[in-house]
Structure 1
């Protein structure tokens, strides 16, 4: 089975990570999404950040942090997600993320919230703790 390849944003403030929930759901996930045909992972990150949380990113500041490869949430056993996590600077000095039509709510989380995450989210929180970026 082909993996689901996605780019995701690690927007961190005060040692908390921005995660979102879809409308009517309680599962936390990172702002981001699948690459469109011909799109680079960094381009997908910039587009998805704008679409999902209204944060404009400076493309010249995009930095790859790590890639999580794990079972995809809600997919048949054996279907993996390959999620590359990036950091980037917003183009405004103090951006305030906003929920889009795709997003029900915004959440600033720490590793304590891992029980609300699918496998890729748990691995992401663990990785960010190891890097010393979140609590």
Structure 2
């Protein structure tokens, strides 16, 4: 019998993901091989891994973006139906890459990613998006004034992370924001958090 991934417990899959914007404010979405739904770059937490570290690791593995966990800004801790696992929920620690990162590097599908697509969150949403995007992330971004277009490209409240700089992630790097953090956002906290790391 296969042992389930440690990030799957009681029908809930715990993941972390990154909101990456282009200079026009569009969101980067990805579709994994063998699936039909587009979602944010991200994946399951490994044992002992902080959610921000997971988000940064997955962004590098899936689309080749290197962003330091300390520069990520928590958007929220959301729970919705899972896109590809019927009967499961997904709990996602969702982070935003700093605005200065938007035009820093090109993105390309890697690892298990079959396709990438840019999405205008203020436009009509296509029917093939994961519930996490349509029910939680896009509404939170719109509520925080993070719609698409050049005017909506910058983070609310100057949310530019530690220094807005992308750099390599080392094995000893600790992520900011995670289970038990007093300032984390949740499904009912639609505001994009703009606080800089301590």
TM-score (normalizing by structure 1):
0.87
Say if 1:3 and 1:96 are closer, same or farther in 2 by CA, change over 3 A: same
Say if 1:91 and 1:122 are closer, same or farther in 2 by CA, change over 3 A: closer
> Aligned with 1:94: secondary structure?
coil
Shift of 1:5: 0.7
In the alignment, the residues of structure 2 paired with residue 125 and residue 115 of structure 1 have an alpha-carbon distance, to the nearest angstrom, of 14
In the alignment, the residues of structure 2 paired with residue 122 and residue 92 of structure 1 have an alpha-carbon distance, to the nearest angstrom, of 22
Say if 1:27 and 1:92 are closer, same or farther in 2 by CA, change over 3 A: closer
Contact residue 35 and residue 84 of structure 2 kept, 8 A = no
Q: For the pair shown, which has the larger CA radius of gyration, 1 or 2?
A: 2
Q: What are the within-5 Å matches in structure 2 for residues 111-130 of structure 1?
A: 111=121, 112-123=124-135, 124-130=137-143
> Aligned with 1:134: secondary structure?
coil
Greater fraction strand: 1
Greater fraction helix: 1
> Where does the alignment leave 5 or more consecutive residues of structure 2 unmatched?
1-9, 149-198
1:20-43 alpha-carbon deviations (Å, 9 max, x no partner) = 112354421110000001111011
Say if 1:80 and 1:130 are closer, same or farther in 2 by CA, change over 3 A: same
The residue number in structure 1 matching 2:73 is: 63
- The question of 1:133 aligning with 2:164 is answered no
- The question of 1:108 aligning with 2:121 is answered no
Contact residue 21 and residue 102 of structure 2 kept, 8 A = no
1:48-99 alpha-carbon deviations (Å, 9 max, x no partner) = 011001000022211111121112223343x311111101247796211111
In the alignment, the residues of structure 2 paired with residue 121 and residue 93 of structure 1 have an alpha-carbon distance, to the nearest angstrom, of 22
> Aligned with 1:51: secondary structure?
helix
TM-score (normalizing by structure 2):
0.61
Higher relative contact order (CA 8 A, sep 6+): 1
